[in-house]
Structure 1
Amino acid sequence: MQKQHFPRENARRKLPHYLEAETVDILIDEASSTSMMAANLLLTMWRAGLRVTEAVNLQARDLRLSGDYPQIHVRDGKGQKERYIPAHPELRDALRRHCRYTRVRGTDPIFVNERSGKKASRDTGYQWVMRALSRAVQAGRLPPGTRATPHTFRHSAARHWLANGVPINVVQRWLGHESLDVTLIYLALVPDLSHTMDHIP
């Protein structure tokens, strides 16, 4: 009799670290006190769930903020894949003001380093998050030990969408995940969904 081989279960995956919406708002507010550019980058990662590299690579032509269905076009996502993400009203309005103020056009980068005038980098995004976090802790608005990185904003967005009823397959598309399995881990961050089992006939 031929011996059967069964695949081993994958090692337990660590749950993504996320922030509550109120905490994200505090970080964005602290960023805005010193830099509109920084605040709008944080807002973009939060409201669109973008990776920091996707956010800093955005160009003026990627923002479609007029009409009934405002969208953000991610041209250079992970794996060289493109996708469209609906622009949340808060983000739409902020980016409209941003573009009017900066007068960006065509292939102009949306986010630039305010000192050098050059396109913001991944490191720039990280520095802006760290600066906002430091200010929030020093001001007593967030407790010492609060953790945040640019990717935390993406995790927080995914969790926030699911908690507010966005279907998992839509969240997968917005995040640009090739496999639904990658997106499913976020369900563990939304314990309130467990009560829905009581209503299944």
Structure 2
Amino acid sequence: MTSPLDVVVDDYLAHVRTERGYSEHTVAAYRADLVDLLRFADEHGVAEAGGIDLPILRDWLWSATERGLARATIARRAASARGFTAWMARRGLVPVDHGARLRAPRAQRALPRVVSAPALDEALARLEARAVATNDPIDVRDVAIVELLYASALRVSELVGIDLRDVDRRRRTVRVVGKGSKERVVPYGAPAARALDRYLDLGRPAILERMKGDDTAAPRPARTASNADAAFLGARGARMGTRSVYALVAGLLAEIPGTGPSGPHTFRHTAATHLLDGGADLRAVQEFLGHASLGTTQIYTHVSAERLKESYRTAHPRA
């Protein structure tokens, strides 16, 4: 007799969180997929791990197709199920890894939004002009954030996780912790260096000083060690959160022509594409971005090719 499915799923989620080092966002996605699998299995009289066989898995994905779920969602669910069944087989909970033969439709990957270099320069110039005009430490901080997002192609979680000790201002590098708790050191250029130096020397101390003189009744966040070490601070002196960065970037991208996502990842996509446009080696870009697979990085080669074709269509007299 095998273990109840809900218990096995909880054990698996604990495994990917603690032993594999997956982020809470990834664990939550796994949980949602596997809870749906549990519901489907229960409806078909399967309550134990040994009952998760290939027909059940295929019927589960087919039901998702019938409900009109996107190809990308179905592909992700198949990947979640394969990881789960492989783990059960390694643990000896089931005799065969049925998920190894599970196939799902390939997710159709939309090309990411990329901002042109001139448009990005104009947006950054507007942000810098506002910081100079107001001399507000929050505006100074915002310039440093956007410059660093683009210069180092950071994920938003990596940016807000940066501590003061992670920034090597002499070498112009920053150490970040990416997916799977993997560390990497990435460079940044002269414009980002100027913005970051101004923020760390003037903006960040001013934010902390402002908090000392704030006599409002609203409670301030606890000054934990994590807050004290954070490079980027929110308006109330605690470590800046991802939502604040999203709001900042969305406002900036709203002023730039173009459609598509308006989150911080757009700067990461843009940086990667600009690197390839400039002749950077694909494997070097993979390392720069912290991608585990070269296939993930190759999406940017398609972006570069599309940009080239568009330039050809608009510029060549016989296009």
TM-score (norm 2): 0.50
**Cα 1:169–1:193, aligned 2, differ >3 Å: closer, same or farther?**
farther
Mark the runs of 5 or more structure 1 residues left unpaired by the alignment. Answer: 137-141, 195-201
**Cα 1:144–1:47, aligned 2, differ >3 Å: closer, same or farther?**
closer
**Cα 1:125–1:144, aligned 2, differ >3 Å: closer, same or farther?**
same
User: Where in structure 2 are the equivalents of 1:1-201 lying within 5 Å?
Assistant: 10-32=106-128, 33=130, 35-66=139-170, 69-74=171-176, 76-101=177-202, 102-103=204-205, 108-114=229-235, 116-134=236-254, 136=255, 142-143=256-257, 148-191=262-305
TM-score (norm 1): 0.78
Could you tell which deviates more after superposition, 35-44 or 93-102? Answer: 93-102
Provide the rounded CA distance (Å) in 2 between the counterparts of 1:54 and 1:186.
Answer: 20
Superposed CA deviations along residues 88-147 of structure 1, whole A, max 9, x for unmatched, are 12212221222111359x962221112x1221110000111123344x3xxxxx448675
**Cα 1:144–1:79, aligned 2, differ >3 Å: closer, same or farther?**
closer
Aligned partner letter, 1:113 = G
Provide the rounded CA distance (Å) in 2 between the counterparts of 1:190 and 1:145.
Answer: 17
| Contact 2:150 2:270 survives alignment (8 Å) | yes
Greater percentage in helix: 2
Aligned partner letter, 1:71 = T
Provide the rounded CA distance (Å) in 2 between the counterparts of 1:78 and 1:150.
Answer: 16
Provide the rounded CA distance (Å) in 1 between the counterparts of 2:281 and 2:149.
Answer: 20
Provide the rounded CA distance (Å) in 1 between the counterparts of 2:180 and 2:303.
Answer: 26
Provide the rounded CA distance (Å) in 2 between the counterparts of 1:26 and 1:132.
Answer: 11
**Cα 1:155–1:145, aligned 2, differ >3 Å: closer, same or farther?**
closer
Provide the rounded CA distance (Å) in 1 between the counterparts of 2:233 and 2:104.
Answer: 46
| Contact 2:253 2:262 survives alignment (8 Å) | yes
Provide the rounded CA distance (Å) in 2 between the counterparts of 1:122 and 1:147.
Answer: 16
Tell me by how many angstroms 1:29 deviates.
Answer: 3.0
- Secondary structure of the 1:83 match is strand
Could you tell which deviates more after superposition, 157-166 or 25-34? Answer: 25-34
**Cα 1:96–1:163, aligned 2, differ >3 Å: closer, same or farther?**
same
Bigger RCO of structures 1 and 2 (CA < 8 A, at least 6 apart): 1
Identity over aligned residues, as a percent?
30
Provide the rounded CA distance (Å) in 1 between the counterparts of 2:238 and 2:308.
Answer: 44
Provide the rounded CA distance (Å) in 1 between the counterparts of 2:162 and 2:261.
Answer: 26
Mark the runs of 5 or more structure 2 residues left unpaired by the alignment. Answer: 1-100, 132-138, 209-225, 310-319
- Secondary structure of the 2:149 match is helix
